[in-house]
Amino acid sequence: MAVQLFPGNLRIGVLDEVVTPGRRPPVDTVDPKFQIMVLLKGYQRFSIDDHQIELDAREHPVAMMMHLRRTAKLHYDISYGAPYRKIALATPSEWLHQLTASGDTVAASLCKGSTTFTYHIWSIDTELTRLATQILLPPPQDNATQKELFRISRALELIRRALTDCINEPAQSPSDAHPIAERIRLYLLRNLSQDLTLDRIEKDLGMNRRSLQRHFKTGTGITLSDFMRRERLVQARRALSEDGFTVAQAAHIAGYSTPENFSTAFRHAFGHPPQTMRNCAI
């Protein structure tokens, strides 16, 4: 992976090549840091100390945000892809602490916990995929400085978006992870824009609805229907505030048949009408 060091000790690494399974360094060390990795295409499995991490982007891009508070052992297992496309954004832990000084609850959720290693893996949306792709393959610029500034700007925006994605889903300690619930959650996030009936979810995941609902509620503390409703409203709020969508368009994203019903649900979820977010759009 080609890595560049930028002001503030921000490191941006990119990799875009064919990677075949083969011999990997058995053990390495990783220093304390805050890092976001986006795997756009390919598959990777590794362990940090005794915690195995799997990133599967063979069908859909995935991301991992992690905060490591002490030096740990890094065990490489397997990586492959044709192509294998990945970016990594890393900063010292102090960088993240500076963000939390203002009381930001999202960043703070990664700084606290009973373990020295917390992480969050999720299936990313179109916007995060676009930002990661721009970092990997930036558009032509007038000179090298412009190219580097462009990469920095995209990296900071990706970090902002990633932290926003974690507002309703705080980072998990590895010991608290529920693999079946996480599999269901990632599936739901990948398919939020579609009509997700229980019949379809059962068929796609190969589980009966009773097991689906039980595992998901146990692992996340929320029901399937409440999770999908919440995430669609979050997507709609982002479309209003950042993409300039109309209330009617946002209602469609959230799966509501009328703007009136959407407005009622939006106000109940966020405490203000959707038009407020629309007025804030750039």
Mean pLDDT along residues 234-247: 83
pLDDT at position 194 = 87
Q: Show me where the domains of the chain are located.
A: 2-176, 179-280
- Looking at per-residue confidence, does 28 or 24 come out higher? 28
Determine which of 24-28, 197-201, 237-241, 261-265 has the lowest per-residue pLDDT on average: 24-28
pLDDT at position 226 = 93
Ranges assigned E (strand) in the chain:
2-6, 10-19, 28-30, 33-48, 51-57, 62-68, 72-91, 117-123
Q: Locate tokens 């407005």: which residue?
A: 263
Mean pLDDT along residues 115-127: 84
* pLDDT, the chain, mean: 84
Class of 2-176 in CATH: mainly beta
Mean pLDDT along residues 246-272: 91
CA distance 68 to 48: 9
Kindly report the pTM of this predicted structure.
Answer: 0.64
pLDDT at position 2 = 87
CB atoms within 10 A of CB 171: 20
| pLDDT one-digit tens code per residue, 170-188 | 545 444 557 888 889 888 9
pLDDT at position 174 = 46
Q: Tell me the CATH architecture of domain 179-280.
A: Orthogonal Bundle (1.10)
